[in-house]
């Protein structure tokens, strides 16, 4: 493996990745507020971070990946009132749906942590900020005083002066400065609340991620990730309160990674705007692997424009990759014994793929290399003089191994369609059908053999005859 480089939002440049502790990576991503079904925008983040994790593991790192559920929030309270259930039931319901959606898309689940299960740690952090003079109490609310943290704005590039001019500031005359933000919110009648030194209440939005990431990963952890829309104010506020809590002796997090939004008709996909495509509905229309592949077709920092046309393009591209793999597998199965792989042809593509992934996890560039491997496979299978060479089988085995590593191990996209048609019994059935058809042709019953071929084609199954035998694939 070469040198892994990633773009650090904090420094605004690409940097070599050097972990805090040799051989280990600690990373955190801001998670879901579970109060409605997840949409495609949510899934982009979880798929991106899954690929980041997979590639770090390819570099030999042991990865501890933590993600939170904000399981108490104004939106959850409203949803509980609408559905006539408790806030805990709302959070559990939609958290479980999110987990099921992530698993369907092939995600290796992170270590999920919940706000309500770590409330005492959050309260302790707020108390220390008050005791150290970084925060103040007003009528049971606690605010962080931004002017006490001179580096405020270093992540987003915004200055306190710009904020005073009115940039996304919630007006509250009780605050000392307009840019100060809530660490603890006093309880309103009928709302869930936890006891604290300032009276019953619940955390502000920003403090939870600081408290949870520091608890489970310790200061100066390696990667903090989230959507670009979280850079300000959420992540900016996280840095301020966390480094103030640490008395500015250590950085809160070392690398900041942000993925671009998913857009629908040029608008950011968001529950607040109502511009959403629920992932559960999309899973009924497309195989989850197609959705995952689509989400990886552009670089993670580039906004992704959602459309069904683009999904169909991703579906066709994945089918092309799978068809090449199936043809190579069929060719190799027909041999008396499997060859030892010859990696000489595949190795340059492995190196190109590695360079793409080491270049800030550039999945778009990596997928372009995948299609180069597909072209190499098809070239050998489609050219009779190449298909008949003794060394071709070993080269195909090497190319197929590389393709499986790229698609399944790193990108997490299976080369076998997750449909009943790809089950073991169906494979056996198709093998029998091909054998029956070969027997008909041997008896010169070509009309019946052709009828089998045509009937299967009408059902979306294509038979391909070659000097090496007959193979099958699903129609594009």
The DSSP secondary structure of 225-291, one letter per residue, reads: EEEGGGIIIIIHHHHHHHHHHTTTSS-SEEEEEEEPPEEETTEE-BTTTTB--BHHHHHHHS-HHHH
Give the span between the Cα atoms of 455 and 474, in whole angstroms: 13
Backbone angles phi, psi at 224, to 5 degrees: -115, 125
Backbone angles phi, psi at 182, to 5 degrees: -75, 135
pLDDT at 476: 52
Are the C-beta atoms of residues 67 and 110 closer than 8 Å to each other? Answer: yes
Burial of 468 (0-12, 13-18, 19+ CB in 10 A): middle
pLDDT at 162: 65
pLDDT at 126: 98
Tokens 């495509």 label which residue?
Answer: 277
Q: Are residues 142 and 234 in the same domain?
A: yes
Q: Are residues 183 and 90 in the same domain?
A: yes
The continuous run of DSSP H or E covering 40 comes out as helix 40-58
Give the span between the Cα atoms of 128 and 420, in whole angstroms: 57
Domain assignment present for 446 = no
pLDDT at 212: 98
- Give the CATH number, domain containing residue 327: 1.20.120.640
Give the span between the Cα atoms of 451 and 457, in whole angstroms: 10
Give the span between the Cα atoms of 373 and 416, in whole angstroms: 17
Domain that holds residue 351: 307-413
Are the C-beta atoms of residues 151 and 243 closer than 8 Å to each other? Answer: yes
Q: Are residues 202 and 244 in the same domain?
A: yes
Q: Are residues 324 and 214 in the same domain?
A: no
Give the span between the Cα atoms of 229 and 236, in whole angstroms: 11
- Give the CATH number, domain containing residue 130: 3.40.50.620
pLDDT at 75: 92
pLDDT in tens, 167-205: 444 567 789 998 999 999 999 998 999 999 999 999 999
pLDDT at 467: 64
Q: Are residues 277 and 385 in the same domain?
A: no
Domain assignment present for 464 = no
Q: Which of 236, 264, 295 is the last residue of a domain?
A: 295
pLDDT at 273: 65
- What's the half-sphere exposure (Cβ side, CA atoms, 13 Å) at 77? 11
H and E: helices and strands count for the chain: 16, 16
Strand partners, 13: 8
Count up the domains in the chain and report the number: 2
Q: Which of 361, 390, 413 is the last residue of a domain?
A: 413
Tokens 């092939």 label which residue?
Answer: 106
Give the chain's residues under pLDDT 70: 160-171, 271-274, 418-428, 467-469, 474-476
Domain assignment present for 277 = yes
Q: Are residues 242 and 388 in the same domain?
A: no
CA distances (Å), 220 to each of 162, 232, 257, in order? 28, 20, 15
What's the longest Cα–Cα distance across the chain?
A: 93
Number of neighbours of residue 289 by Cβ within 10 angstroms: 25
In sequence order, what are the residues at sequence separation of 6 or more whose Cβ sits closer than 8 angstroms to the Cβ of residue 387?
331, 380, 381, 466, 467, 468
Q: Are residues 311 and 259 in the same domain?
A: no
pTM for this entry: 0.85
Q: Are residues 218 and 149 in the same domain?
A: yes
Q: Are residues 247 and 366 in the same domain?
A: no
Domain assignment present for 458 = no
pLDDT at 420: 40
Comparing CA positions, the residue from 300, 264, 303 lying closest to residue 282 is 264
Give the span between the Cα atoms of 51 and 124, in whole angstroms: 34
Joined tokens for residue 210: 């600081």
DSSP state of 410: I
Domain assignment present for 423 = no
Give the span between the Cα atoms of 392 and 459, in whole angstroms: 32
Are the C-beta atoms of residues 38 and 32 closer than 8 Å to each other? Answer: yes
Domain assignment present for 392 = yes
Give the span between the Cα atoms of 17 and 257, in whole angstroms: 12
pLDDT at 164: 58
Q: Are residues 140 and 208 in the same domain?
A: yes
Sign of CA dihedral 420, 421, 427, 432: positive
Q: Which of 295, 327, 355 is the last residue of a domain?
A: 295
Q: Are residues 369 and 232 in the same domain?
A: no
In sequence order, what are the residues at sequence separation of 6 or more whose Cβ sits closer than 8 angstroms to the Cβ of residue 427?
none
Q: Are residues 87 and 60 in the same domain?
A: yes
What spatial distance separates the first Cα and last Cα of the chain, rounded to whole Å? 36
Grouping H, G, I as helix, E, B as strand and the rest as coil, residue 37 is: coil
Domain assignment present for 348 = yes
Give the span between the Cα atoms of 257 and 225, in whole angstroms: 5
Domain assignment present for 196 = yes
């Amino acid at each position: 493996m070469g040198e892994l480089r990633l773009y650090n939002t904090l420094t605004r440049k690409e940097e070599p990745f050097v972990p805090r502790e040799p051989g280990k990576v600690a990373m955190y991503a801001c998670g879901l507020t579970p109060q409605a079904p997840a949409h495609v925008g949510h899934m982009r983040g979880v798929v991106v971070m899954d690929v980041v994790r997979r590639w770090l593991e390819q570099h030999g790192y042991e990865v501890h990946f933590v993600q939170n559920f904000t399981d108490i929030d104004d939106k959850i309270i409203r949803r509980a009132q609408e559905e006539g259930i408790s806030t805990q039931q709302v959070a559990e319901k939609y958290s479980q749906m999110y987990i099921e959606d992530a698993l369907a898309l092939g995600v290796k689940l992170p270590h999920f942590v919940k706000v309500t299960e770590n409330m005492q740690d959050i309260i302790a952090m707020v108390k220390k900020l008050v005791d150290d003079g970084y925060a103040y109490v007003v009528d049971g609310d606690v605010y962080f005083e931004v002017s006490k943290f001179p580096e405020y704005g270093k992540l987003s590039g915004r200055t306190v002066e710009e904020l005073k001019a009115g940039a996304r500031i919630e007006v509250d005359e009780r605050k000392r400065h307009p840019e100060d933000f809530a660490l603890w919110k006093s309880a309103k009648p009928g709302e869930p609340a936890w006891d604290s030194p300032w009276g019953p209440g619940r955390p502000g939005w920003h403090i939870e991620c600081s408290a949870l990431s520091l608890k489970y990963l310790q200061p100066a952890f390696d990667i903090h990730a989230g959507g670009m829309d979280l850079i300000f104010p959420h992540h900016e506020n996280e840095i301020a309160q966390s480094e103030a809590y640490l008395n500015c002796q250590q950085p809160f997090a070392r690398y900041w990674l942000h993925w671009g939004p998913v857009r629908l008709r040029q608008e950011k996909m968001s529950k607040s705007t109502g511009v959403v495509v629920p992932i559960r509905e999309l899973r009924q229309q497309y195989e989850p692997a197609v959705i995952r592949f689509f989400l990886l077709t552009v670089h993670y920092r580039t906004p992704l424009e959602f459309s069904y046309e683009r999904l169909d393009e991703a579906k066709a591209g994945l089918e092309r990759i799978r068809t090449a793999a199936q043809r190579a597998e069929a060719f190799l199965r027909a041999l008396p014994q499997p060859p030892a792989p010859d990696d000489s042809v595949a190795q340059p593509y492995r190196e190109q793929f590695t360079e793409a992934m080491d270049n800030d996890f550039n999945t778009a560039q990596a997928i372009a290399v995948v299609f180069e491997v597909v072209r190499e496979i098809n070239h050998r299978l489609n050219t009779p003089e190449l298909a008949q060479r003794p060394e071709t089988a070993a080269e195909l085995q090497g190319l197929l191994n590389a393709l499986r590593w790229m698609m399944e191990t790193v990108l997490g996209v299976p080369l076998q369609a997750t449909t009943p048609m790809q089950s073991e019994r169906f494979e056996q059935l198709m093998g029998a059908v091909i054998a029956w058809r070969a027997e008909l042709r041997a008896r010169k019953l070509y009309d019946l053999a052709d009828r089998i071929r045509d009937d299967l084609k009408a059902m979306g199954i294509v038979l391909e005859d070659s000097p090496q035998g007959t193979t099958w694939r699903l129609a594009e």
